[in-house]
């Protein structure tokens, strides 16, 4: 294959990548927001969290009751790498670790949350509740 054919194929690939949406919609340009909200009782110990992805360590944070920590990002949906954020939680003598984002439609795979780009995790005594921008709320995990 000569150089001009290679250039033509490369330009066609770039054209198709930017011009045609993917099967579930074109999420390539969407900004996503994840919020970790401390909904634990006011007089309880602080909630400690550590959130990270393969590319970004968002650090350790101590949240008093009714405080939150949030971040925004673009979703990476290449076949070999997808955006995935994990968080670790510590409160009183309890701890939990799970994926807080890995799906551009529902925040996490197999979530009952309708399509959204806003994922709020509310931490309560009975577990971890996921809420979207419309206020649809579901308990996803227990402590």
Q: Could you tell me the residue ranges of all domains in the chain?
A: 29-141
- The answer to whether the CB of 121 falls within 8 A of the CB of 37 is yes
Question: Has this prediction a pTM greater than 0.75?
Answer: yes
Residue 109 has pLDDT above 90, yes or no: no
Q: Share the mean pLDDT of the chain.
A: 84
Say which CATH topology domain 29-141 has: Immunoglobulin-like (2.60.40)
């Amino acid at each position: 294959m000569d150089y001009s054919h290679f250039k033509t194929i490369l330009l066609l690939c770039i054209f198709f990548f930017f011009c045609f949406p993917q099967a579930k919609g074109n999420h390539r340009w969407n900004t996503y927001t994840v919020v970790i909200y401390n909904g634990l009782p006011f007089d309880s110990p602080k909630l400690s969290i550590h959130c990270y992805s393969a590319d970004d360590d968002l650090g350790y944070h101590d949240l008093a009751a009714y405080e939150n920590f949030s971040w925004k990002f673009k979703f990476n949906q290449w076949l070999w790498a997808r955006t995935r954020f994990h968080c670790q939680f510590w409160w009183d003598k309890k701890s939990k670790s799970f994926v807080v984002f890995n799906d551009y439609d529902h925040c996490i795979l197999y979530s009952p949350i309708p399509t959204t780009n806003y994922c709020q995790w509310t931490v309560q005594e009975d577990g971890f509740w996921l809420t979207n921008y419309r206020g649809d709320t579901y308990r996803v995990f227990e402590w």
